Amino acid sequence: MIESTQKEIESFVGVTEAHAPFYKVSAMYLKEVGDFAGYYREALRYLGVEDITKMTPEERHVQAVLIGFAALLGENVYNFGELLAHPILKALEGSGEKWLSE
């Protein structure tokens, strides 16, 4: 189901209201099945189209921790540049997980 929906989402021109919820669900699924590289990819897509200012501070913190660990655990994930440039990592400031952003 996710694969067929992904094809439909990718056929849209530009970013629509459907992109953020789809990438969020896709990322959650990949996290649950243990595909950390896939989760990392989909979570970055989600964060690229979602307005993180609409998230609570706790939601931003959880997203930052999850994507940080996915970057470390994901097979063949070698490029952290996009993540390190993303403002979601500011949610880690002052926390025990700050090291994920360093």
Tens digit of pLDDT for each residue in 1-10? 567 566 566 6
Q: What is the pLDDT of residue 86?
A: 94
Non-local CB neighbours of 94 within 8 Å, separated by 6+ positions: none
Where are the domains positioned within the chain?
Answer: 2-101
What angle is formed at CA 87 by the lines to CA 31 and CA 83, rounded to 5 degrees? 50
pTM exceeding the 0.85 threshold for the entire prediction:
no
Q: Work out the pLDDT band at 80, boundaries 50, 70, 90.
A: confident
Tens digit of pLDDT for each residue in 19-78? 788 889 999 999 999 999 999 999 999 999 899 999 999 999 999 999 999 999 999 998
